[in-house]
Every structure is written in structure tokens, then in C-alpha cells.
Amino acid sequence: MTTADAKPTADPRIIEVHNPADGRSVGTVPIETADDVAAKVRELRLYQPEWEAIGPRGRAEWLLKLQDWIFDNADHIVDVVQSETSKPRVDASIEPPFVADLIGYYAKNAAAFLADEHPSPHNPLGMVKKLTTVYRPHQVVGVITPWNFPFAMPGLDVIPALIAGAAVLLKPSEVTPLGGAELVRGWKAIGAPPVLELATGLGETGAAVVDNVDYVQFTGSTRTGKAIAKACAERLLPYSLELGGKDPALVLADADLDRAAYGIAWGGLFNSGQVCISVERVYVEAPVYDEFVAKLTKHVGELRQGQDGREYRHDVGALANANQRDIVARHIEEAVAAGARVTVGGKPGATGTFFEPTVLVDVDHSMSCIREETFGPTLPIMKVADEAEAIRMANDSVYGLSATVWTTDKERGDRVARQLEAGAVNINDSGANLFSFALPMGGWKESGVGARWGGAAGVRKYCRVQAITTPRMPTQQKELIWFPYSPPKVKFAMAVMRASGARGLRRRLGFGGSK
């Protein structure tokens, strides 16, 4: 993600944070050095063993106290998020309860998700051992988050890492660091163990996090994600990356066009299109193309854009920074120059980083508005002949984060969904998977590696898996195939293994295939 609006002050150790709508200064954070980061990780390592030792139920108690704090301070958190993003009040207000909901889910289920497992042996020979799988946390997890959801994005990854038993170092975006700082402030305000810390700064600070922690969770651009993956590979460090997206919407001829128009408008323009799973391209079957375009154009034209205070007056706010506004403008200008047409919007706002919600038609796959991630309030629409062409076009992308399918035929929707190259598909809805913690949220292709959530997987990803075998019966001095080898005992052992593992007559053959 860009750092264009992260402005160091006259003091080179400080970042000044600005509201993108009007440019006013709303806060400062320190630029922490690699030494600062290393010191914080060392401190986290000191307290992590005790945090792990209290177990998932003990950790859940602290997280539920954090949940209470979030609800008690929700208005203030929303004020902070608005100050550094200029989101509409509604968009910002979603962030605190979203994190609180995730806390409730993992607090309720963590003990079961992290309990020891005792798988059955794969053959009768294994019955002599009790098999145990243990989930032990990575000691320090580094969470690096983007600027589009300053409070929610840190919470979505910090919470499962904490409940797993890890200590966490959070590095929020330098563009919007204040929301993440609120999460850490809340953790300290409830008197929780010192296993969550904040590291603020520019790219060098993020690199230092990767260089010092034991696991990296990163959300952001594909370009930065690839750099982090390389750095992790050098240290043989596990990581999870949620990266860019160019999510398609497929409007089939039998769709409820009113619902599709409303759902795609919200799915593409919520948070000014600055959502990893935003609808960024729309494919409409020819028989309903004109009607759908008219409905979507009318709906988008009715949206209210502006800067909210505590009132709920606007639907769409400003973009997070000037660089993002310029990307949106370039994609639209290049599309129009190549023959596309704007049906509504298409221009930057008079002030700040506002850009009008825009619908583009007559687009094709050669255009940047279709090929590149826009991350802004644009909806390019393309007419397709049939379902097969819609699927082919939707899959023609380096990205594969999520997709939506609009049809009144549930079986058809399911059939189409299973042919799309995306980590999630929502049928007749936008973003529904984002609110379903039992499902994994992860991208295919250049949209990422690994996934967040997915029930137990969402907390186990922050754990190292340990296998333990324990004798079920009294042991002898030595096993049949221990040194020194005894040919009769070895032959007997091999015959037993063959009898246990082979099929049919092969079970009765001697060792090596001879009778």
C-alpha cells in the first residue's frame, strides 16, 4: 500500500497523520527503528510463556474483557477511525463491533479448537501407541496491517494470534496508525498481560518486524507481500499473506436485477471501494445488460458523497490518500481514451481525496480498470454472451480473492461458483464470507498465501504442531528391529508389516516378495 500521505514532520522521528478529506493534522506517531523493534520482541518473548501457560480459557477471559472495553469505547474508536480515514460514520461504526464479534467467537471456541487431538493409528500395529497432536503457539507473531480498516484489520489478526497463546507485535500502516494504537491502548487499559505491543513507522519498521518475529501475518499489496515472502523464506519463517484482489461479479440473465444492482453497488463502493474483496469488475449476460446498467447507474447516481462527523449523512467518503485518488483517475482516463464510456461519476472531488462513484461501460480486458487492482469507487461493466463467457472472463486475472454470482437459480449459482478461481464466492450477496468466521478467508493466485479464520484453522495457523507418541502397554528392553539386528526377528517384523499393509494374496508373501 502507498505511503504517500504518511508525512514525517520536521522531527525525523515522528509521522504526522492527516485527515484525507481536508488535510488537517489529527495525530502523530513515532518512527521506531530496527533496534526499537528488536527490543520490543525481546520483551514480548519474556512474557509469552506465562501467557501460553494460562491456557485458552484463561486467555479467553482477558479477550472478553477487551471485548467489553471495545463496546464501552466504541464511539471514541469510531471518532479516531474517521479522523484518519474520513469514512462515512456508518462505515467506521462497523469496525468496533466486527472485532468484538470475532473475540466472542474465538473466546467461545478456543478451548475446543486448541485441545489435544488423539488420531486413530493408520493400522493395527499402531495400536501399541497413544497418538497425540499438540498445538503450541509461535512465540511472537508479527501482524502488519493496511490503511483501509485501521481498527478492524489489526483486530482480525491480532485476536486469533493472542487466543492461540502467541505474543503479538502489531505494525499498522503508517497512513492510518491511530486505529491500531487504540486496540493496543485498550489491551493495556484492561490490565492484560504485556503480550501485545505496537510498532509504528515506515517500511523500515515493517522490515524489522519481519526480521525479528517467529510468524508473519501481512495484509496489503501483492508487491509488498512478495517482498515479505522472500524475507521470510530467508529465515525459513512461516507466513500468511492476504494480498490484492480484482473481484468479479457475474450477473446472469435470471438474476433479480434490483438486488444485483444494490448488492454490487454496495460491494464495489463500500468504504469508497477500498476493500480487499470489493467488486472491481462486472460481467452481465447480454439479455439483461442494458436493464442492469440502467439500474446500477441510477442507484450509484443517488449516492451521497461527503465528509461525516458523528451524523449519518453520507454513503461514500474520501479515499485514504492522494496516491489512491490518482490511481482511480488514471484507470478511468485510460479506459475512456480506449473507448469506454462513463455513465455516472468519473471526476475527482473539488477538495481533498474525494472521487465520484463511477460506472464504466464498453470496457474490455485490455484496460487497466479490468487488469489492475483499482481499490477505489469504480464499477466497470462488460457485456458477455452467456454463462460460459462470464466464467472465462472472471477467471482471466492474476488475482483470485473472491467473487459474486447473481442468479435466482441456486443450483446454477452453486455450479458457477465451483468453476470460479477464487478463494470465496458469494451467491446473491456481497462480502458475506467476510462475516462468516467459520469459513476461511484467503486468496488464490496472486491474491495471497494461506487464510484467516476458517474455524479451528484460523487459530491453529498461529501454532506449531507437535506430535507425541506414548506407549499403551509395558515396554520391553528393546524392539524387534533395534540394534543389533536379528534376522529371524527382522523377518518376523517385516512379515507383520506386510500383513498389515498389503492387499489380498500379497499379505501372505514373505519379505521381499518371495514365498
Structure confidence by residue, pLDDT tens digits, 256-282? 999 999 999 999 999 999 999 999 999
Q: Count the neighbouring beta carbons within 10 Å of the beta carbon of residue 460.
A: 17
All cell numbers assigned to 467 = 506430535
Can you give the pLDDT at residue 507? 85
Of 154, 151, 234, which Cα lies nearest the Cα of 196? Answer: 154
Per-residue pLDDT tens over the stretch 162-187: 999 999 999 999 999 999 999 999 99
* pLDDT above 90 as % of the chain: 91
Nine-digit cell string for 157: 489478526
Give the model confidence (pLDDT) of 133-163 as tens digits.
Answer: 999 999 999 999 999 999 999 999 999 999 9
CA neighbor of 193 nearest in space, from 49, 299, 321, 334: 49
Which amino acids are annotated catalytic? 242, 276
- For residue 10, give the C-alpha cell: 520536521
In whole angstroms, give the CA distance from residue 284 to residue 293: 9
Closest CA to 306 of 88, 18, 26, 78: 88
For 341-377, how does the pLDDT look when each residue is reduced to its tens digit (9 = 90+)?
A: 999 999 999 899 999 999 999 999 999 999 999 999 9
Q: Check residue 508 and give its pLDDT.
A: 78
Cα–Cα dist 140/138, whole Å: 6
User: Of 513 and 125, which is predicted with more confidence?
Assistant: 125
Given CA atoms 477, 481, 482, 485 in this order, what sign does their dihedral have?
A: positive
Q: How confident is the model at residue 515 (pLDDT cuts 50, 70, 90)?
A: very low
Summarize pLDDT for 451-509 with one digit per residue, the tens.
999 999 999 999 999 999 999 999 999 998 999 999 999 999 899 888 888 998 888 76
pLDDT at 2 over 50: no
Per residue in 371-414, pLDDT tens?
999 999 999 999 999 999 999 999 999 999 999 999 999 999 99
Q: Structural domains in the chain? A: 33-118+137-243+456-463 (3.40.605.10), 247-436 (3.40.309.10), 478-513 (no CATH)
Task: Give the per-residue SS3 of 68-103.
Answer: HHHHHCHHHHHHHHHHHHCCCHHHHHCHHHHHHHHH
Residues in CB range of 7: below 8 A, 6 or more apart: 15, 16, 18
Over residues 234-251, mean pLDDT? 98
The pTM for the full model equals 0.95
Q: Which triple of cell numbers denotes residue 295?
A: 439500474
pLDDT of residue 514 exceeding 60? no
How far is CA 428 from its chain centroid?
A: 22
Q: For position 124, what pLDDT does the model report?
A: 85
Q: Which amino acid appears at position 429 of this protein?
A: D
As a whole number of angstroms, the distance between CA 445 and CA 431 comes to 19
- The pLDDT-based confidence of 9 (bands split at 50, 70, 90) is low
Q: Return the pLDDT at 11.
A: 81
For residues 170 and 197, the answer to whether their CB atoms sit within 8 Å is: yes
